[in-house]
Structure 1
Amino acid sequence: MELTTIHGIYLLFILLIITVMIFRRDPSLICMIGIFTIALVATESLIHSVGIIFYSFVYTLRELLGTVMIVCVIVAMSRVLTDSGVNEVMIRPITKWIRTPSQAYWIIGFTMMVASFFFWPSPAVAFIGAIMLPVALKAGLPALGVAITMNLFGHGVALSGDFIIQAIPSLTAKASGLTVEQLVSASIPLVVMMGVITTVVAYFLIMKETKSGGIQLPIQSLKKQETEQKKRLNWRVKLLAVSIPILFLLDIIAMRIYRLKGEDATALLGGTALLIVIITICFCYQEKRFQRITEYLLQGFKFGFTVFGAVIPIAAFFSLGGSGIERIMGNVLPTTSQGIVNDLGAVLAYTIPFNESIGVLASMLVGVITGLDGSGFSGLSLVGSTAKLFAMTMDANTAQFAALGQIAAIWVGGGTIIPWALIPVAAICGIDPIELARRNLFPVLIGLCATTGFVIILG
């Protein structure tokens, strides 16, 4: 396989990006310089190279637009349900089952996980935490324990798999050359393994310290957001609280019957969420309904583009490793090339004595490193690209490598280890985010080691 200067530059900037992430710096600047450098070498035109930086962003946004939109819509829906009081009615029956610290830990955790699958964890934190925290405190589970279970089940288990909305696996799959279905299928046993080990270890640690009085942290006064209607529990709110879960259940049934996957499944969920926004506003608000619909959609768009804004430059660089370079720059590689990543993988297969265990460990470490920026999203393109590279080198299962890297990136950077990623949960529960990160560290490390060993055993 013939390697060119472009291959060398691409590999050099991957190493630079990893180095920058190790030192907890944003790699966006390095990615943009990398795009410009590759474009300059490939086109030998300064003007075209400058334009390619912008066009690579446009290309990447076009590829990710469906993913960004579903997140925006889901967030808009969750804000409407929170402000209208519908979410409180939906959660209330569950609170009747919480009588002991153990019940509080597991019930709040599983509730958070289910809600996060449909709404994503950040929006789910607000309404679940506000409603269930007082119930948990009354049952004897400290605020720190509530934060840990919400964090591990939401930003850990649910977000690392993202089986319903599929925004996370879409990012990883695009970079690894897989379909979303392949990646989700490979990630299910790994998400289960990681989730079981981590949450069980955390549970025993929390129960031990709770009994000994080791985590009796003071709880700050929790201020519930009041709406214009003060969340009156009228028949409309109750009807919506019953109807919304049924609508999503019907979506899942429709996906099974009509075999909707990927973008089709996402479109169904997104359309349902938009209908819920419209219906909830029409039912629960008497004035300025048209204006409110726009306001909530703008809130969703603001959140979505804020989250994915940091992803665009990084994903744009890594899109050059696959078919994106041809679409962005034209035919700049040799005719025998199968793409930069594929070419590098083929060369590594003949020059470096990789084995599968080393490849699995390397995929996990890349995920951990990329998660150090505190977002979890920004490194998924790198996770997918390197998983493809490692798997090609040893003729292994790309989906397993990518799924493991994705899990590591989300658990570390998506909100369970890095303190600045824990602020929403910590704020709701009135605790120190650094203390929450410290308590999460041991269970998450145990889970990562166990899951990595599980992948090695699976072969």
Structure 2
Amino acid sequence: MGVELVAIHWMYVIFLLLIIGCFLLRKDTTLISIVMIFLLGLIATGSISKAVSTIFNSFVFSITELLPTILIISIIVSMSNLLIRTGINDVMISPFASLIRTPTLAYWIIGIVMMVISLFFWPSPAVALMGAVLLPVALRVGLPAIGVAIAMNLFGHGIALSGDFVIQGAPKLTADAAGIPVSDVVSASLPLVIIMGVVTTVTAFIFLRRDMKKGGDFNATTEAIAEDNLEETEAIFLSKTTKRFWAVLIPVLYAIDIYLMVRFDLQGGDATALIGGTTIVIMLFILSLAYKGTALEQTTSYLIEGLQFGFKIFGPVIPIAALFYLGDSGFTKIVGDFLPKGSHGIINDLGVALSHSIPVNANIAAVALTVIGAITGLDGSGFSGISLAGSIANLFGTALGHGTATLTALGQVAAIWIGGGTLIPWALIPAAAICKVDPFELARRNFLPVVIGLIVTTIAAMFFI
């Protein structure tokens, strides 16, 4: 038998249900997470002053855990902004333009290139990096703008972001909440991401080709402008030779990073540090060439711009991540040794209790994680709820005695495909704005392919658990 459940365990169950309710109602979870952290501290310590301190300490713990992820994304956004303004990105993408000769080739080439770039630069910056260059080429060969938006969206915000194999921001969040190594989540997510990606992109392409043959209306546009629209920024002059040199060198440097990651088995924080360090070095060299006399000031400016983006994305994540760190090993570090003797964390204790109280099997667990992941994605972030998915995966995995990594990966895939930018209209604005299509129309066209993909992926996950 597991540890005897006490008041703090039952309160945590209530908190989980309230968080799920917030996601269903599309309400922000920041305030309720802070209140929950306070109440957990109060119940555990019996002291109002210590409970108040718990709020701040949990935020510090959460930020400390998330800081490498926030920094790597901020640095990459800083560099991607620089590549756009210097025109290096145009040279990097241009070789692929010559390969685009038919609508079919346009869809798949744009999608695959978007996926590869998104793995290193994250999808939102990647949309800006390649959208303006490849969109006109795709339109010339007959692929409508909505088709370009679908390809960039599904391959970038879907496949690349749900796996996040290089930067590992998403696996870091879910793995921490589930109490397992990041490498386990990355390994478990690989087959699920492949299945989800293949089913969704093929289905979307079939529907798009059907509508193109019918002569569907693809002219729905929008005046929506991405918040970080860099087209209005004055371009920086660099010689063609310089741009070509860096357009070749940058992919080579990242290819070397991948080799080193495989060769020396670098994962998690080590892999993030390697990619981050490489990005900073590249950015500093390009800044020194582009700005010459003002490189010192511009370095600070670009870093600030990137950090603003990073904290804007992760600002809503910090409070809810703090709550779920309390549910795992973080409780002792944040609050103190107030759990019952023999406890391995609130979520672990609940998982053991669940295994002794109701029958749990792989099928139920897989469906539950897909539904919970989808629910957490309804806020349009994709990241704010994956800590919840990781905690629930830990709970079911403990009850089953195995499969925590696969369940965690499944919840991550569902949450990010729904909320990371493929179904929630306000999360689609970057791709919609670049392609000048209606984000609601893009969400409508993504709906059936994504739902079909989630169903197939959930069934496949049942065999992996």
Q: What is the TM-score of this pair, normalised by structure 2?
A: 0.96
Q: Is the 8 A contact 1:143 1:219 kept in 2?
A: no
Matched with 1:260 is: 266
Unpaired runs of 5+ residues, structure 1, are: none
Letter in 2 for 1:389: L
Q: Deviations over 1:374-424 (max 9, x none)?
A: 000011110100001011112231011000000000000000001110011
Look up the SS of the partner of 1:141 in the other structure: coil
**Cα distance in 1 for residues equivalent to 2:340 and 2:190:** 38
Instruction: Report sequence identity in percent.
Output: 52
Q: Deviations over 1:166-223 (max 9, x none)?
A: 0110000001011111110000000000000000000011111112211331567999
* Correspondent of 1:414 among 390, 396, 420: 420
Q: Is the 8 A contact 2:103 2:141 kept in 1?
A: yes
Q: Are residue 236 (structure 1) and residue 238 (structure 2) matched?
A: no
Matched with 1:364 is: 370
**Cα distance in 1 for residues equivalent to 2:234 and 2:246:** 18
Matched with 2:340 is: 334
Matched with 1:174 is: 176
Q: Deviations over 1:202-253 (max 9, x none)?
A: 0011111112211331567999826545655521111111111111011111
Q: Which deviates the most, 205-214 or 410-419?
A: 205-214
* Correspondent of 2:349 among 343, 348, 352: 343
Matched with 1:95 is: 97
* Correspondent of 2:84 among 82, 93, 99: 82
Letter in 2 for 1:125: V
* Correspondent of 1:126 among 122, 125, 128: 128
**Cα distance in 1 for residues equivalent to 2:281 and 2:236:** 23
1:378-389 map, 5 Å: 378-389=384-395
Look up the SS of the partner of 1:337 in the other structure: coil
Letter in 2 for 1:18: I
Q: Is the 8 A contact 1:278 1:293 kept in 2?
A: yes
**Cα distance in 2 for residues equivalent to 1:381 and 1:12:** 16
Q: Which deviates the most, 390-399 or 104-113?
A: 390-399
Matched with 1:376 is: 382
Letter in 2 for 1:103: L
* Correspondent of 2:217 among 215, 224, 245: 215
Q: Is the 8 A contact 1:172 1:402 kept in 2?
A: yes
Q: Is the 8 A contact 1:74 1:273 kept in 2?
A: yes
Judged with a 3 Å threshold, the aligned counterparts in structure 2 of structure 1 residues 343 and 220 are, in CA distance, closer, same or farther, namely closer
Q: Are residue 115 (structure 1) and residue 99 (structure 2) matched?
A: no
**Cα distance in 2 for residues equivalent to 1:227 and 1:333:** 54
Q: Is the 8 A contact 2:222 2:438 kept in 1?
A: no
Matched with 1:136 is: 138
Matched with 2:436 is: 430
Shift of 1:33: 0.8
What is the number of residues matched between the two proteins? 459
Q: Are residue 305 (structure 1) and residue 320 (structure 2) matched?
A: no
CA RMSD across the alignment: 1.5
Look up the SS of the partner of 2:172 in the other structure: helix
**Cα distance in 1 for residues equivalent to 2:184 and 2:448:** 31
Judged with a 3 Å threshold, the aligned counterparts in structure 2 of structure 1 residues 453 and 292 are, in CA distance, closer, same or farther, namely same
Letter in 1 for 2:358: I
Q: Are residue 270 (structure 1) and residue 276 (structure 2) matched?
A: yes
Letter in 1 for 2:199: I
**Cα distance in 1 for residues equivalent to 2:273 and 2:180:** 20
Judged with a 3 Å threshold, the aligned counterparts in structure 2 of structure 1 residues 189 and 366 are, in CA distance, closer, same or farther, namely same
Letter in 1 for 2:139: L
* Correspondent of 2:25 among 17, 23, 26: 23
Letter in 2 for 1:298: I
Matched with 2:328 is: 322
**Cα distance in 2 for residues equivalent to 1:219 and 1:356:** 44
Q: Deviations over 1:301-325 (max 9, x none)?
A: 0000110000000000011111111
* Correspondent of 2:206 among 204, 207, 210: 204
Matched with 2:194 is: 192
**Cα distance in 2 for residues equivalent to 1:401 and 1:7:** 22
**Cα distance in 1 for residues equivalent to 2:128 and 2:343:** 49
Q: Is the 8 A contact 1:237 1:284 kept in 2?
A: no
Q: Is the 8 A contact 1:83 1:226 kept in 2?
A: no
Look up the SS of the partner of 1:300 in the other structure: helix
Q: Is the 8 A contact 1:77 1:273 kept in 2?
A: yes
Shift of 1:277: 0.8
Q: Are residue 295 (structure 1) and residue 297 (structure 2) matched?
A: no
Shift of 1:264: 1.1
**Cα distance in 1 for residues equivalent to 2:328 and 2:233:** 49
Shift of 1:256: 2.1
Letter in 1 for 2:366: V
* Correspondent of 2:46 among 44, 52, 58: 44
**Cα distance in 1 for residues equivalent to 2:291 and 2:134:** 25
**Cα distance in 2 for residues equivalent to 1:226 and 1:23:** 37
Look up the SS of the partner of 1:288 in the other structure: helix
Letter in 2 for 1:407: V
Q: Which deviates the most, 340-349 or 391-400?
A: 391-400
Q: Is the 8 A contact 2:394 2:408 kept in 1?
A: yes
Shift of 1:124: 0.4
